[in-house]
Structure 1
Amino acid sequence: FDSVLSLCRNQHRRIVLALLTEEQRSLPLNDLTKTILTYNHQTTITEASEDVITEVRRSLHHVHLPKLASAGLINYDPERQLVEPTEQLDQMQPTLSPILDADSTLEAPMEL
């Protein structure tokens, strides 16, 4: 429980987890970036500055996705820039769902 709370401390990770839970499929890094821009920065990828887009991608690649992968909730292939949910993410749903539901900035269902 503590590790899930720690992972959910950051909104970028909550967005990634909520989107993967909603979609139940592999997603490209670009889709995750677009969704973070929508839900965390209230902008679209076409309206966001290149600096903001680069920072979101960099933080996903170097910080957030490695943390989620290390916890076993996702598989991240940096070469293909592809993120996929794991069986462990499915198993964590009873613990994870109330945390994600408590975030009023995440609309359900999440949209790409």
Structure 2
Amino acid sequence: MMTCQTRFPGDADRIYTALGKQRRRSVLYTLVQQGGRAEISPPARRLAAAEQRTSVADATEEMVTQVERQPYHVHLPKLDDNGFIGFDTDTGAVTLTENAGRIAEPVALVSELEDTAERLEGSTEQSRKRVGTGAVESSDE
């Protein structure tokens, strides 16, 4: 059986650290989707939209600014320190490194699963609201 230690000798802690927070996974996933390079604002806009459960186009500048601060000071440096991205603090440019290629597929899978879980949670919440308002018809009648 191949474990993380055999596939990435000595790197398991770095990988778990990098993938341990949803915001870091979202940044990596966004970079994978955008061909490996982005400015800080596009990932922040996507994160703000996901956290507020709105579309990227509907994410307000206030939402983006709030989300932008933490990645800039915490998550991007952590990903940079662990060798998964290059982060230019002067320009805000973020690029995937060769190391990120090793985790791109798991990051994409986890992000898709998180998106699916959020959609399911949203539809469950909508169903609860309809039941609470009596909008759901009984099939026993």
Shared topology, TM-score over 0.5?
A: yes
Give the aligned partner of residue 36 of structure 1.
47
Q: Counterparts of 2:32 and 2:77 in 1: how far apart (Å)?
A: 18
- Compared with structure 1, are the counterparts of its residues 45 and 22 closer, same or farther at alpha carbon in structure 2 (3 Å cutoff)? closer
Q: Which has the higher contact order (CA 8 A, sep 6+)?
A: 1
1:18 pairs with 2:26? no
TM-score, scaled to structure 2 = 0.62
Contact 1:15–1:36, Cα closer than 8 Å, also in 2: yes
Q: Counterparts of 1:3 and 1:106 in 2: how far apart (Å)?
A: 24
Contact 1:72–1:86, Cα closer than 8 Å, also in 2: yes
Corresponding residue pairs, total: 103
1:79 pairs with 2:87? no
Q: Counterparts of 1:20 and 1:12 in 2: how far apart (Å)?
A: 12
Bigger Rg, structure 1 or 2: 2
TM-score, scaled to structure 1 = 0.76
Give the aligned partner of residue 105 of structure 2.
97
Contact 2:84–2:98, Cα closer than 8 Å, also in 1: yes
Cα deviation 1:10-30 (Å, max 9, x = unaligned): 111000111112222310111
**Which structure has greater helix proportion?**
2
Give the aligned partner of residue 9 of structure 1.
20
- Compared with structure 1, are the counterparts of its residues 25 and 101 closer, same or farther at alpha carbon in structure 2 (3 Å cutoff)? closer
Q: Structure 1: where are the runs of 5+ without partners? A: 108-112
Name the aligned partner's letter for residue 26 of structure 2.
Answer: I
Q: 1:63 aligns with which of 66, 74, 78?
A: 74
